[in-house]
Amino acid sequence: MTDTQNRPPLPDRLSIDPRSPYYNAAIFEHDVGIRLNDKERNDVDEYCISEGWVKVPAGKALDRKGQPLLTKVKGKVEAFYRQD
């Protein structure tokens, strides 16, 4: 029960890429889940709740730096901490 009190609040926008200005290492110490249109997604690289989109890898395609190409999927986005 005390673990939920120590969790930082989830931001409006979050990225898993450490080079992004929306990256927050303290949040990733906990297991974060994302729902898009009431379906849980496990492949989300970045999300924005207020704008209603998530970025997910577009297949196996890579950019010239070796990072996966991302596509934006729009819908109702919910971020939550998964229960341990």
Q: Which token pair is 30?
A: 């906990």
Confidence of residue 33 (pLDDT cuts 50, 70, 90): very high
Instruction: Compute the Cα dihedral for 21, 27, 28, 31 and give only its sign.
Output: negative
Question: Beta strands of 1-84 (E only): which ranges?
Answer: 13-15, 32-36, 39-41, 46-48, 53-62, 68-74, 77-81
Q: What is the pLDDT of residues 14-24, one digit of tens each?
A: 999 999 999 99
pLDDT tens track for 34-74 = 999 999 999 999 999 999 999 999 999 999 999 999 999 99
Which 8-state DSSP code applies to residue 23?
Answer: B
What is the extent of the structural domain holding 31? 2-81
Quick one: pLDDT band at residue 3, thresholds 50, 70, 90? low
pTM value is 0.84
Q: Give the whole-angstrom CA distance, residue 12 versus residue 78.
A: 10
Instruction: Indicate the number of domains in the chain.
Output: 1
